[in-house]
Amino acid sequence: MIRMKEGSGIVVANKKIRMMIPGPVEVHPDVLKAMGSAVEPHYGDAWVAKQQRVTEILKEIFNTAGDVYLLVGSGTCAIDAAIGSCLQGGEKILVGTNGYFGDRLVSIAKHNGLEVIEVKATWGEELDADEIERALERDPSIKAVAVVHSETSTTVLNPIQDIGPIVRRHGQLFIVDAVSSLGGVPFSMDEWCVDACATATQKCLGAPPGLGPIAVNERAWKSIDRLQTGEHGWYTDLRVWRQYAQEWGDWHPTPVTMATNNVNALLVSLTQLKAEGITKRMERYRSLALQLREGMRKAGIAPFTPDEKLNPVLTAGVAPSGVNSAEIVRYFLQEYAIQISGGLGALKAGIFRIGHMSPVMTSEDIELVCEALASFCRTRNL
C-alpha cells in the first residue's frame, strides 16, 4: 500500500513520511548535506562573500532594492523586528486579520506596546483593500499597516498589490508577513509598495528552520530613525543589524553569531531555485495546485477556496459532512505515510490543509495525495 519516498524525509515507525504540511517542508538532500557541513566562523572574507550571495538572491526573490538581513530566529523573530523597529510604544497600527496569523500580528503589535486597530474579514475570505482605505481615512493617526500575505491557516492570499498603493498614498508604512509565501508565490516588494517584509527559511525557501530573512526599504528606515533607541530590546532592533552590516560589513557583518550551517543550507536551496528559475518554480507550484484541486473534486471533495483565488503552495479541502478533518489527517498518515494538516481555530475540524511548498514536491506526490483522498472517500462510502 505505502509507496516509499526517496530522499531526505523523516521516518516514523520505519515508514518514510511524505511531509506535506504548510511548513516546515521536506528539503533537498543537498540542502541537508550543507546543513551537516563543518561549523565555520561567521566572519572573514570567505564568509562575508557567502552571506552576501545569500542576501543578493533573497533581494531578487523579495524584488526589492532595499536591504535584506538574515535574523537568527524563526519567521516570527523577523516579524517582531519589523513591527518593533518601525514603531514605538503608544503608536497606532492597523492590522488586517482574516486568520490565525493575522491574529498573531495583532498579538505581536500589542506585545510591542502598540495600539491596534483591526480590519477583519471572515476566515476564508481575503481582506478588503477598500475597507482598509476607509479605516485609514477615519484615523490619520495610524502610523502603519500590517498584513499577512499568505494566510496559512485558511490558504487565502491577501491582495498585497492592492493594499500597498493605498497605504503609500496615505503616507503610512506597510509591513507584510510573507513567511509562507516568499519563494513560492510571486512577490514584488517595491512595486507593491511594501516597506518591510518578513519571511522564514523553512517554508517556500526550502531550507531547515532557523533564519528569519527580513527586507527593509528607505521609508522603513526613515520611520525607524525617527525613534529613540533601546525601546524594545536589542536583538530585534533593526538598527543594530544595520550598524554591524555598515561598520563591520567587510569582515563580521552581523551583531550575533550567524547560524552558519543554516546559511550554508539556504545558499544551496537558493542556488537550486535560481537554477530552476524563480518564475518557473512558481509556475510549477501553481500547476501542482491545479492538479490537486482537480483530484480533490474527482474524489468528491470541494477545495476551500475557488480556483481563481488559488494559493500555489497550499491547498485546503472542505471535510465532507459528518467527517472531522482529523480523520482524514489520520488516514493519510496511517494508510499512505503522508503528513498533512487539519484546520486551525474555528476551521479546525472543517478543513484539511495540504502544503506543496517544498522544492522537492513533484506531481507524483500530488497524484498520491489524490489517490489517498479518493481512497478515503471510497472507504467511507462518501
Ligand X SMILES: *Cc1c(COP(=O)(O)O)cnc(C)c1O
Q: Which stretch binds ligand X (CB under 6 A): 145-153, 243-251, 343-351, 371-379?
A: 145-153
Shortest distance in whole angstroms from residue 79 CB to ligand X:
7
23 lies in the binding site for ligand X (CB under 6 A): yes
Q: How many Å apart are CA 130 and CA 146, to the nearest integer?
A: 15
Q: How many Å apart are CA 290 and CA 307, to the nearest integer?
A: 8
Return the residue of 148, 220, 240, 267 that touches ligand X, per CB under 6 A. 148
Q: Which stretch binds ligand X (CB under 6 A): 50-58, 156-164, 176-184, 294-302?
A: 176-184
DSSP single-letter state for residue 93:
E
Q: Report which of 101, 69, 86 is spatially closest to residue 232, judged by C-alpha positions.
A: 86
Return the residue of 26, 80, 91, 177 that touches ligand X, per CB under 6 A. 177
164 lies in the binding site for ligand X (CB under 6 A): no
Q: Report which of 55, 357, 358, 67 is spatially closest to residue 189, judged by C-alpha positions.
A: 67
CA distances to 48, 151, 216, 250, 353 from 156, rounded to whole Å, are: 38, 5, 24, 42, 12
DSSP single-letter state for residue 345:
G
Q: How many Å apart are CA 317 and CA 172, to the nearest integer?
A: 37
Return the residue of 58, 179, 196, 316 that touches ligand X, per CB under 6 A. 179
Nearer to ligand X, 85 or 152 (CB): 152
Helix 260-276, helix 45-62: angle, nearest 10: 50
Beta-sheet strands, E only, within 92-239 = 92-97, 115-120, 142-148, 150-151, 156-157, 173-177, 196-198, 211-216
Size of the site for ligand X (CB under 6 A): 12
Q: Which stretch binds ligand X (CB under 6 A): 62-70, 158-166, 173-181, 290-298?
A: 173-181
Q: Which H/E stretch holds residue 339? A: strand 338-339
Site for ligand X in 37-66 (CB under 6 A): none
Q: Which stretch binds ligand X (CB under 6 A): 146-154, 189-197, 288-296, 316-324?
A: 146-154
Site for ligand X in 77-106 (CB under 6 A): 101
Burial class (CB in 10 A: 0-12, 13-18, 19+), 129: buried
Nearer to ligand X, 23 or 183 (CB): 23
Shortest distance in whole angstroms from residue 171 CB to ligand X:
26
180 lies in the binding site for ligand X (CB under 6 A): yes
75 lies in the binding site for ligand X (CB under 6 A): yes
Q: How many Å apart are CA 343 and CA 340, to the nearest integer?
A: 10
Return the residue of 55, 63, 64, 74 that touches ligand X, per CB under 6 A. 74
235 lies in the binding site for ligand X (CB under 6 A): no
**Binding region for ligand X (CB under 6 A):** 23, 74-76, 101, 148, 150, 152, 177, 179-180, 200
